[in-house]
Amino acid sequence: MSGQSYAGPPADPTTATPVPATTGRQPGVSRRSVLRGAAGAGAAGLAAAAVAGTAGPVLAAATSASPRRQAARTANEPAVAGPVVVHVRDARSGEMDVFAGTSHTRLRDPDLASRLARAAR
């Protein structure tokens, strides 16, 4: 491992060999929330982006099904660099994708989806 960070098995199923999660330079992003709606309220395909400083509540809500894991993440890991992007795939079912750093999480949270949709109006 030679001392560098290693992200574990690659998230990319097309890459057979694990590679380090090199994020490279992350362009500067403002520290305020930049929630942006990409679709009308209630529509599928709503996308939202939040910066690391305001992403906590979103991630906390999104990962509420795994509180132990979330607590460990909060305690031990630094805030994610770069934007956290939420793609609401289906507002009715609450299915959404959360992108942060080099990770991707698929969630189902109708309440959060509804709140995001309202925020995007």
Give the interface with another protein as residue ranges (CB under 8 A): 1-2, 4, 6, 10-12, 14-20, 22, 24-30, 34, 49, 82-85, 87, 99-104
**Nearest approach, Cβ of residue 8 and another protein (Å):** 10
CB atoms within 10 A of CB 80: 21
Tokens encoding 81: 């660099």
Taking the CA atoms of the chain, what radius of gyration do you get in angstroms?
15
**Nearest approach, Cβ of residue 93 and another protein (Å):** 21
C-alpha span between 71 and 23 (Å, rounded): 24
Query: Which CB, 74 or 103, lies closer to another protein?
Result: 103
**Nearest approach, Cβ of residue 47 and another protein (Å):** 8
- What amino acid occupies position 56? G
